[in-house]
Amino acid sequence: MLRVSKLTDYAVVVLSRLEAEGGVQTAPGLASATGLTEPTVAKVLKMLAGAGLVEGQRGARGGYRLLRPLAELPLSEVIVAIDGPIALTACVDGGFGLCEAEHVCPVRGRWDPVNAAIREALSGITVAQIAAPRTTPAYANAMPVLVAQ
């Protein structure tokens, strides 16, 4: 099963709140607004800042701000900032020393196209698309149709 970590999910929540509030926001303020714990928000912000996705500002009016709109931020960059390289296998893009069977593995390197396809797909989705409010499809309120067999 492919699954992003809870921290990556929290990062999307924090980023969406940063954009919704605009300007510079503090970790305690974001924690309060999102319902996440302050240490978790602080950890996520530090990781996002390390990846260049947000900028920290010190001082009395300090906090964090987005460096670009979420519509211009690929989801893949958030995942890499929080979870590291996107890959299905430990031997991502020819990496060495991550698997005890790598010297005899018959499929070594064959996962690279799969990993690349997943990275490409995630690069085509922006954080804004994930963070956008849900809209109810027109058919959601329709009555179900029963078919006799």
Give the model confidence (pLDDT) of 91-146 as tens digits.
Answer: 665 555 567 777 787 877 788 888 889 999 999 999 999 987 765 555 555 544 44
**Position with higher pLDDT, 140 vs 37:** 37
> What's the chain's average pLDDT?
85
Q: What is the pLDDT of residue 106?
A: 80
Q: What is the pLDDT of residue 103?
A: 75
Q: What is the pLDDT of residue 115?
A: 85
- Take residue 68 and report the two structure tokens written for it: 């670009």
Residue 87 has pLDDT above 70, yes or no: yes
Domains along the sequence of the chain with CATH: 6-131 (1.10.10.10)
Q: What is the pLDDT of residue 44?
A: 98
Q: What is the pLDDT of residue 134?
A: 60
Cut 0.95: pTM above it? no
**Position with higher pLDDT, 95 vs 8:** 8
Tell me the average pLDDT across 28-56.
Answer: 96
Tell me the average pLDDT across 69-84.
Answer: 95
